[in-house]
Structure 1
Amino acid sequence: MKIKLFILVIIITLISACSNIVPQVKENSQVETKRYDKTENQITRTGSPEEEISDNNLVKATVTRHVDGDTVYVKIAGKSYKMRMIGINCPEYTKEIEPYGKESSEYTKSQLLGKTVYLETDVSNTDKYDRLLRYIWLEIPTETSEHEIRTKMFNAQLVLNGYAHAGNYPPDVKYTDYLKKFQQEAKNKKVGIWGLEKK
């Protein structure tokens, strides 16, 4: 009985001693804490551009090179990114040549190369080819209205002038309804790709 009592006292003493152990933290040492970053879930190998502008959630960029009608290179805060425009699809003019691809490519080059633009993200940060996915604003919009989209968004201007098809590419569908409407206008006017004779 004395042995059991002795063992019990030792166990209680050990438990009591362990509970009083406190991890030592050096004075002035920094404890790493994880803060929520709103772009954290969007970061990929290309990284997430910085320099956000006010509450519009737009990023200022310079177009440094064009690839074709819907793909360009942009410089943001000194870093270069390949960028694909959201919500549209221009005829191919790289590995494959499609009707009106050259015209579409040249239009984008003439309108954007060397210009300052403002980029808007929808839901996705990049596509499967690691290109940034963005809407390109030629000027900062003052509101989300059809007039602002029609006159200031380059993606929309490509569709309105018949250089691109409007597409539905979930989850990035913020302006799909507007772009579809603009496509119907271009079709009715038979501009650009819609004016080509079908063989």
Structure 2
Amino acid sequence: MKNIIRLKIFSFLLLCLSSAFASEKIPAKVISIIDGDTIKVLINEKTEKVRLIGIDTPESKPNKRAKLQAKRTKQTINEILELGQMAKKHLQSYIYPGDTVYLEFDAQKRDKYGRLLAYVWTNGIMVNEKMICDGYAYPLTIPPNVKYANLFRKCFAKAVKYGFGLWKKKDSNSYTERKKPEKTNNFNLKCKNKKYCYQMKSCEEAKFYLNVCGIKRLDRDRDGIPCEKLCK
């Protein structure tokens, strides 16, 4: 009996220690802002790229991903880059080269490209959260890094509802898929009883159900892109 109690106490202490370690914030000096969701920092005299966990912004420079975003949203590459620059500038309103920020890690510390994955904090503010709440980023949930996923989804829904940042109700400033006027757009989508890709009418709707409604089965390979046939 005593051994069982000791084992339970040990397990509890180990869990507390693990949680404390996961929540530990590491100081880093900002070197540059790459775009709205990626920065370069200096940690222990080593330069690292940091991808902000849980968010996705338009590309700010022409590349393959910018072309993909243009295709998905039916916008021109120049429009995507313009929105990307807006997101980048908004990130710079919170952090700037020379600033000291604090990195909070989740379950997975690096992505397949070798970049650090982190929640970036400055002056008591989580920048990832602010980018979504202010309307300059999509939520992008990729397990196992899901610590603030629900918070980000709620923030995103509010930003879209009230037209914050990139979600202003103008085609030139909206990072959403363009549609004919008579069709439903991203501003009146609602979470209904849809759970499968065959029920989705567009990539935009699939993203909404994944990121806002939390229908994870739409993203079977967990790459953050729902319904691959729709979102090619």
State the TM bucket, normalised to the shorter chain. 0.5 to 0.7
Check the 8 A contact 1:167/1:180 in 2, yes or no: no
Unaligned runs of 5+ in 2: 1-19, 67-76, 172-177, 179-232
2:92 equivalent in structure 1: 109
Residue 132 (structure 1) aligned with residue 113 (structure 2)? no
Over 3 Å counting, the alpha-carbon distance change for 1:90 and 1:108 in structure 2 is same
Q: Distance in 2 between matches of 1:171 and 1:68?
A: 24
1:57-101 deviation digits (Å, cap 9, x = unpaired): 110111111110000001112211011000000111122351511
CA displacement at 1:139 relative to structure 2: 3.3
Equivalenced residue count is 136
1:167 equivalent in structure 2: 140
Residue 156 (structure 1) aligned with residue 123 (structure 2)? no
2:104 equivalent in structure 1: 120
1:110-151 deviation digits (Å, cap 9, x = unpaired): 4212211110110111111111000001135xxxxxxxxxxx
Q: Distance in 2 between matches of 1:70 and 1:63?
A: 13
Q: Distance in 1 between matches of 2:115 and 2:107?
A: 14
Check the 8 A contact 2:22/2:105 in 1, yes or no: no
Q: Quick one: percent identity of the two aligned structures? A: 35
TM-score (norm 2): 0.55
Q: 1:63 aligns with which of 16, 30, 55?
A: 30
1:18-72 deviation digits (Å, cap 9, x = unpaired): xxxxxxxxxxxxxxxxxxxxxxxxxxxxxxxxxxx99941101111111100000
Letter in 2 for 1:102: Q
Unaligned runs of 5+ in 1: 1-52, 141-151
1:47 equivalent in structure 2: none
Letter in 1 for 2:88: S
State the Cα RMSD in Å: 2.0
Check the 8 A contact 2:106/2:118 in 1, yes or no: yes
1:158-184 deviation digits (Å, cap 9, x = unpaired): 001111011221110000000111111
Q: Distance in 2 between matches of 1:110 and 1:188?
A: 23
Q: Distance in 2 between matches of 1:181 and 1:83?
A: 24
- Partner SS state of residue 49, structure 2: strand
Q: Distance in 1 between matches of 2:58 and 2:133?
A: 15
1:39 equivalent in structure 2: none
Q: 1:90 aligns with which of 37, 48, 57?
A: 57
Letter in 2 for 1:86: I
- Partner SS state of residue 106, structure 1: helix
Over 3 Å counting, the alpha-carbon distance change for 1:86 and 1:55 in structure 2 is closer
- Partner SS state of residue 193, structure 1: coil
Check the 8 A contact 2:160/2:167 in 1, yes or no: yes
Letter in 1 for 2:126: M
Check the 8 A contact 1:118/1:139 in 2, yes or no: no
TM-score (norm 1): 0.63
Check the 8 A contact 2:94/2:122 in 1, yes or no: no
